[in-house]
Chains A and B, each alone.
Chain A
Amino acid sequence: MKNLRMRVLTSLVVLAAAAWFFYPLYPYPFEGVRLKLGLDLKGGVHLVLRVNTDDALRLDTETTMEQLREAVDGKGISGAVLSVVTPTQFKVEGVPQSQDGAFREAANEVQASFNRESGVAGTYTFSMKPNIIVQLREDAVTQARQTIERRVNELGVAEPVIAQTGANNDQIIVELPGISDVARAEEIIRSTALLELKMVEDGPGGTKENLLQSRNGAIPNNMEVVPGAADSSQRGDRAETVFYLIRKVAVVTGRDLRNAKPTIDENGRPAVSFSLNQDGAKKFGKATGENIGRRLAIILDGRVQSAPVIEGRISDEGRISGGSFTQQEVQDLSLVLRSGALPASLTYLEKNTVGPTLGADSIRSGIIASAVGLILIVVFMLVYYKLSGVNAVVALGFNLAILLGLMAYIGATMTLPGIAGFVLTMGIGVDSNVLIFERIKEELAAQRGVRQALDAGFSRVFLTLLDTHIASLISAAFLFQFGTGPIRGFATTLSIGLLSNLFTSTFVSKTIFELVLSGRKVQTLSI
Chain B
Amino acid sequence: MQIFHNPNYDFLRWRWHALILSWIIIAAGIGVIATRGLALGVEFSGGTIVILEFDTTPTIDQIRSALDAQKVGGGGQNIVVQRYGSETARQVMVRLPHSGEEQGTSLTRTADEVVKAVKDANLGGFKQVGSQVVGPVVGRELTQKGLWATIFSLLGLLVYIGFRFRLSFGVGAVVATFHDLLVTLAFLAFFRYDMSLNVIAALLTVTGYSTNDTIVIFDRVRENLRGMRRDAIGDVVNASVNQTLGRTVITAGTVLMSVIALYLFGGEVLKGFAFTMIVGTITGTYSSVFIAAAIVTFWRGKNAPRVPAAAAADVAPKKKNGKRDRA
Contacts and interface: CB of A to CB of B under 8 A. Distances in A.
Interface of A: 40, 48, 50, 166-167, 183, 186, 347-355, 357-358, 361-362, 365-366, 368-370, 372-373, 376-377, 380-381, 383-386, 416-417, 419-420, 423-424, 426-428, 430-431, 434-435, 438, 441-442, 445, 463-464, 467-468, 470-479, 481-484, 486-487, 490-491, 494
Given A373-B258, A435-B216, A416 B269 contact: yes
B128 interface: yes
6 closest A-B pairs by CB: A427-B258, A475-B208, A365-B267, A373-B261, A482-B149, A355-B129
Contacts of A50: 137
B258 A377 contact: yes
B277 A424 contact: yes
A424 B269 contact: no
A438 B267 CA distance: 35
20 contacts: A40-B269, A347-B103, A350-B138, A351-B131, A351-B132, A355-B129, A365-B266, A369-B266, A423-B266, A427-B257, A430-B254, A431-B251, A467-B219, A471-B208, A474-B160, A476-B204, A476-B208, A482-B145, A482-B204, A486-B197
A445 B324 CA distance: 11
B267 A361 contact: yes
Contacts of A358: 51, 129-130
Interface of B is mostly: helix
Interface of A is mostly: helix
B247 A434 contact: yes
Most buried by A among B129, B259, B267: B267
A347 B134 CA distance: 12
Interface of B: 1-2, 51, 53, 85-86, 89, 103-105, 107-108, 127-135, 137-138, 141, 144-146, 148-150, 152-153, 156-157, 160-161, 164, 197-198, 200-201, 204-205, 207-209, 211-212, 215-216, 219, 243-244, 246-247, 250-251, 253-262, 264-267, 269-270, 273-274, 277, 326-327
Given A475-B204, A475-B207, A186 B265 contact: no
Contacts of B273: 417, 420
B251 A470 contact: no
Contacts of B160: 467, 470-471, 474
A423 B259 contact: yes
Contacts of A471: 157, 160-161, 208, 211-212, 215
Given A424-B277, A445-B327, A468-B216, A166 B141 contact: yes
Given A434-B251, A479-B153, 16 more contacts: A353-B131, A355-B51, A376-B257, A417-B198, A420-B262, A424-B277, A427-B259, A434-B254, A435-B247, A438-B250, A442-B326, A467-B219, A472-B205, A475-B153, A481-B149, A484-B197
A479 B153 CA distance: 8
A483 B203 CA distance: 13
A11 to B, nearest CB: 23
Contact of B267 (A186, A351, A362, A430): A362
Nearest to A445: B327
Contacts of A486: 197-198
Contacts of B256: 427
Contacts of B219: 463-464, 467
A131 B20 CA distance: 56
Contacts of A464: 215-216, 219
A482 B143 CA distance: 10
A380 B257 contact: yes
A424 B201 contact: no
B128 A482 contact: no
A351 B157 contact: no
Contacts of B274: 420
Contacts of B247: 434-435, 438
Contacts of A368: 265
A479 B258 contact: no
B265 A369 contact: yes
A435 B198 CA distance: 29
B230 to A, nearest CB: 21
Given A474-B156, A475-B157, A357 B204 contact: no
B205 to A, nearest CB: 7
A182 to B, nearest CB: 8
Given A383-B1, A424-B259, A372 B209 contact: no
Given A365-B266, A464-B216, A423 B261 contact: yes
Contacts of A166: 141
A482 to B, nearest CB: 4
Contacts of B51: 355, 358
Given A349-B137, A420-B274, A431-B212, A355 B254 contact: no
A475 B131 contact: no
Contacts of A386: 1
Given A435-B216, A474-B160, A423 B262 contact: yes
Contacts of A463: 219
